[in-house]
């Protein structure tokens, strides 16, 4: 039976069997149900639709993989397992991955896995390939940020380039396009760390009094926000001491 804790409040739940349950789609014999301690969150792109992923999770059909979350382009979040149970989303690891926290342990046993709808590399059946011209939707991006933030908080993890990673950081050969170039990790980390989102001049149409877009002001405002957030973190750390 699925563990009761570790379920995202706003997710549509499709629980999968966890080892040692019959027909398990996740879990390991050396990790008790509800006993996984994550050190990072891994972002993936499905290379397909979340509807197909849901079918795999519900029916046990398709490849022997699983994950914690599936997020659609419209921002809808599905959850398949408690974030305190291991799933089979990132076990294909190269000998010396880019991930700085890799210690030889199967990453499935210490990470939370998010699968985002769409395609990060062209295939014959792709309906929407993410690239510079076709970015992630804003609704999906916000859901990714919200679910990642919640997962980090539940496991007591601070957001950093080593705790919010792409699948390619575990296998740069077989997963080199996962989650792909449209994965805006800089923005994701900024928002996870509490920096205010500052729209880029090209997006926001910020102009000076002469009607010219003022990129300098936007960059300065972003720098100020980051500085204020850093000061707040230092103050909080001093209080904790």
Average pLDDT over residues 184-199: 83
Mind listing the pLDDT tens digit for each residue in 84-142?
999 999 877 888 888 999 999 999 999 999 999 999 888 888 888 898 888 999 999 99
Residue pair 186/113 in contact (Cβ under 8 Å)? The answer is no
What is the C-alpha separation between 81 and 36, in angstroms, rounded?
Answer: 12
* Residue 235 pLDDT class (50, 70, 90 cuts): low
How confident is the prediction for the chain on average, in pLDDT? 84
| Residues in the chain, total | 241
Please tell me the distance from the alpha carbon of residue 115 to that of residue 109, in angstroms, as a whole number. Answer: 17
Pairing of strands 164-166, 40-45: parallel
Phi, psi angle pair for 184, to nearest 5°: -90, 70
Higher per-residue confidence, 180 vs 217: 180
Model confidence at 229, in pLDDT bands (50, 70, 90)? low
Nearest-angstrom CA–CA distance, 224 and 185: 20
C-alpha radius of gyration, the chain, whole number: 19
Residue 151, both tokens:
């997962």
The band of 231, judged by pLDDT with boundaries at 50, 70 and 90, is low
Distance, in Å, from the CA atom of 167 to the CA atom of 99, rounded to the nearest integer, reads 9
**Would you state the pLDDT for residue 212?**
45
Q: In this predicted model, what pLDDT tens digit does every residue of 174-188 receive, in sequence order?
A: 777 889 889 999 999
Distance CA 85, CA 19 (A): 9
Position 56 pLDDT exceeds 50: yes
Q: Is the pLDDT of residue 42 over 70?
A: yes
Neighbours of 184 (CB within 10 A): 16
pLDDT bin (cut points 50, 70, 90) of residue 227 is low
- Tell which residue, 182, 220, 228, 231, has the closest CA to residue 198: 220
Per-residue confidence (pLDDT) for residue 207, from 0 to 100: 43
Task: Compute the average pLDDT of residues 189-210.
Answer: 61
Q: What angle do CA 61, 11, 66 make, to 5 degrees?
A: 30
């Amino acid at each position: 039976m699925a563990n009761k804790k570790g379920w995202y409040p706003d997710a549509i739940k499709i629980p999968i069997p966890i080892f040692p349950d019959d027909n398990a789609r996740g879990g390991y014999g050396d990790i008790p149900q509800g006993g996984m301690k994550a050190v990072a969150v891994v972002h993936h792109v499905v290379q397909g639709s979340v509807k197909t992923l849901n079918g795999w999770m519900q029916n046990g059909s398709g490849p022997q993989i699983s994950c914690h979350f599936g997020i659609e382009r419209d921002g809808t979040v599905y959850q398949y397992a408690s974030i305190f149970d291991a799933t089979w989303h990132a076990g294909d690891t190269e000998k010396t991955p880019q991930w700085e926290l890799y210690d030889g342990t199967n990453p499935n046993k210490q990470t939370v896995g998010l699968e985002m709808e769409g395609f990060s590399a062209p295939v014959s059946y792709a309906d929407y390939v993410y690239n510079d011209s076709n970015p992630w939707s804003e609704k999906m991006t916000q859901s990714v940020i919200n679910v990642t933030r919640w997962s980090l908080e539940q496991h007591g993890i601070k957001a950093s380039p080593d705790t919010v990673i792409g699948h390619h950081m575990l296998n740069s050969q077989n997963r080199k396009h996962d989650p792909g170039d449209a994965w805006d990790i800089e923005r994701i980390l900024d928002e996870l760390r509490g920096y205010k989102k500052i729209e880029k001049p090209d997006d926001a149409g910020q102009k000076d009094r002469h009607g010219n877009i003022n990129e300098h002001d936007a960059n300065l405002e972003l720098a100020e926000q980051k500085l204020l957030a850093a000061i707040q973190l230092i103050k909080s750390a001093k209080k904790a001491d």
